[in-house]
Amino acid sequence: MKKSILIVFLFSILFTTKAFSQNYRFEISEVAMSVKQDGKWSPFTPFREAKIVATLDSKKNLIAVYSELVQFYRIYEYNDKVTVDGKDIVSFNCTDQDGEKCRVEIHTRKSNNTNQLYVRHQGRILVYNMKYTK
């Protein structure tokens, strides 16, 4: 009896965990950058064409950007969604593969349902125009 209860309990944990984990896939079409110089942010560079895939894996707490130099961002804190100027912003406090802390944000404009991925490091910001594909 105890054995069957244990098996049912373990299966319920396994399936509950799987049900709440989600994977998201984005196709990135453009990228721009701003850098901090003398304490001030530069204007963003013009957007450059890019054909990159990005993923968000909530089970592994990982955001990946598969550019020429693959970038991994380990999520250590999920922040609440906020709405600012007609945009929904979901943000994550992360560390990159070098251990540097950063903030990753997904911006969704309600008016035209476009998405942008911001990666904010202490001295630079990357912004990607992207489309949700899965």
| Closest listed residue to residue 61, CA positions, set 77, 49, 47 | 77
Q: What is the pLDDT of residue 21?
A: 66
Query: DSSP characters for 61-77?
Result: TEEEE-SSS-EEEEEEE
Q: What pLDDT, in 10s, does the model give residues 73-111? A: 999 999 999 999 999 999 999 999 999 999 999 999 988
Give the pLDDT of residue 2: 42
Instruction: Give the range of the structural domain holding residue 77, as residue numbers without chain letter.
Output: 22-132
Kindly report the pTM of this predicted structure: 0.82
The count of domains in the chain is 1
Residue type, 57: D
Task: Report, as an integer, the average pLDDT of 53-65.
Answer: 97
What is the C-alpha to C-alpha distance for residues 21 and 99, in angstroms, rounded to an integer? 24
- Assess if residue 36 is contained within a domain: yes
Residue 14 lies in a domain: no
DSSP label of 122: S
pLDDT category of residue 52 using cuts at 50, 70 and 90: very high
